[in-house]
Each structure stands twice: as structure tokens, then as C-alpha cells.
Structure 1
Amino acid sequence: MNRITELFSIFIQETQNTMQHIITAEPEHHNVWLEMATDLWPDYITADLESVYQEIMRSEKFEILLYQQNGSPIGFIYLGLRADYVEGSDSSPTGYVEGIYVNPDFRKKGIAKALYQAGETWAKQRGCSQMAQTFI
């Protein structure tokens, strides 16, 4: 096996291992998501974030993917499908990153990248050819 094949094999294995850590949020993840969301959006009222979570659970246009380590969620990506105008997009629907969060103790380890890639897959499966986000 040459070096390039070996490196590619390692990359594929790491990607598969990462994807095993990403799950779709379910109603029972409410409390852990709420804790992370409050950290990401500290100016929001907790009751409003609770309402957002319940709306996401009922909707097919929104999704939360969780990144787990040792069975505990340590990050999430909150995704949406937007059919209205999205700045910079020339197609519809457009996958939209509503928010992305990784626990500070686990940052700079590729978790946000893995979540974003999983979000891209989610959007592609729903007919999107583009992703967008607004980060401040």
C-alpha cells in the first residue's frame, strides 16, 4: 500500500468514526440541547428556546444533529430549509445553518466541521444544492 492510499484509508476510517458520533436529536435530548443553546444564545429567554425545540421536533423543515462523545452530547448543529430568499444563494430550497455549537472543552478538534458536513448531507438529501449561514 502506498502512502497516499494509506492516508486516504485513515481519512475514510476517521470520517466513518466521526459520523457514528452524530445523531438526530429526539424529544429526550431537550434538556441537554437547551443547556447548549442557552450557552450559544445567552440573550434568549429559556422559555423561547424551549418553544423552538418543540417546533423543531414537529417540523420537517428543521433538524438538530447532536455530536456525542461517550454517549453524551457535546455539540449540535441546528439546520433549516429555506425556500425564501437567502442572500448569496441562487437555488431553492437552501440548507441553512441556524446555529452551531461545540462545548468549549471540546473545541478545535474538528467537531464543528463534522457537524457541518453532516448538515450538508442532510440538506442534500432534501434537494438542496447550497448551504448558507449568518455568523456574527
Structure 2
Amino acid sequence: MFIRPVTRDDRDSWLRMREALWPSPAREHAGEIERYFAGEVREPLEVLIAFDEAAIGFVELSIRPYAEGCETDRVAFVEGWYVDPDARGTGVGAALISAAEQWGRSQRCTELASDTEVDNVSSAAAHRALGFEETAIVRCFRKSLS
């Protein structure tokens, strides 16, 4: 298995995995991917992709001025982290987070943060297993003013 920055040649694999992680119309993901390669997005700043004969995972990274529970104003942030179901539990996720940590250090960050949905128990467990500390549970609310 190896990890490297995503390239245009990885577009279809990245699209497939993004759709699995964030179920939304494929055209939205395809548009975001094209804007990423055109340099027209603020985030992610970096996308790393894991391969073992084929693409089996990715991590999307940004730098945020604030992340819940962090102490610094320049935080490497995991915007998205995905491993194909057949590759879970084999160290791919850990390798992606290790690569994310290295990227964060190269960007002069001293903290790596992430988030997950409140009910995503497996993601929370994976984060904890890799040394993340849970800092908060946030519920967001909306009220229409019309």
C-alpha cells in the first residue's frame, strides 16, 4: 500500500469514494473535484489517496483558523476521511491519518482536528483508536425566518 497526493488520473476513484462517504448527487462531487484541480476551492488544500493495486481510501485536508477544542489558530483539519469497506481494519485509515499528520507538520501546524456526525459510532471509534481526543459534541439547529 502507498499514499500520494491525488492527481487528475485519480478523478474517477476519488469521485467514487467521495460519493460513498457523502451521499449527494454525483454532479456536485464531480464539480468540486474539477474546481479542486483548477485551483478554485479554498478547501480541501490537499487530498491524499491510498492505493493497493487500486484506490482504497483518501483524506481531504485543510487548514482552519479555529477547530473545536484546539488551542492554536492554525489547525490542520481532516475535512473527509474514507477507506473502502473491504480495506477497513487493515491499517489504511491509520496510514492516511499518519500522512495527514505529516502534511500538517509541513504546513507549520501543531494540531490535527477532525469531526464526525454524532451518530457515526465507527468513525468516532476509529478517531479514538488513532489518538484523537473527543473535545465536544455539537448539535446544530436552524429556524426559518420567512
> Cα offset for 1:82?
1.1
Does the C-alpha gap of structure 1 residues 60 and 123 become closer, same or farther in structure 2, counting only changes over 3 Å?
farther
Runs of 4+ in 1 over 3 A off after TM superposition: none
- In structure 1, the gaps of 5 or more residues are 1-17
Distance, in Å, in 1 between the alignment partners of 2:74 and 2:36 is 17
- Match 2:69 to one of 88, 101, 120: 88
* CA displacement 1:57-106 (0-9 Å, x = unmatched): 32586111011002x111111111112x2111111211000111111111
> Cα offset for 1:37?
0.6
* Alignment partner, residue 7 of structure 1: none
- Match 2:61 to one of 55, 79, 98: 79
> Cα offset for 1:52?
2.1
CA RMSD of aligned residues (A): 1.6
Structure with a larger share of its residues in helix: 1
Q: Secondary structure at the match of 2:69?
A: coil
* Alignment partner, residue 30 of structure 2: 50
Q: Secondary structure at the match of 1:87?
A: coil
Identical residues among aligned pairs (%): 29
* Alignment partner, residue 23 of structure 1: 4
- Tell me the TM-score normalised to structure 1 length: 0.77
- In structure 2, the gaps of 5 or more residues are 118-146
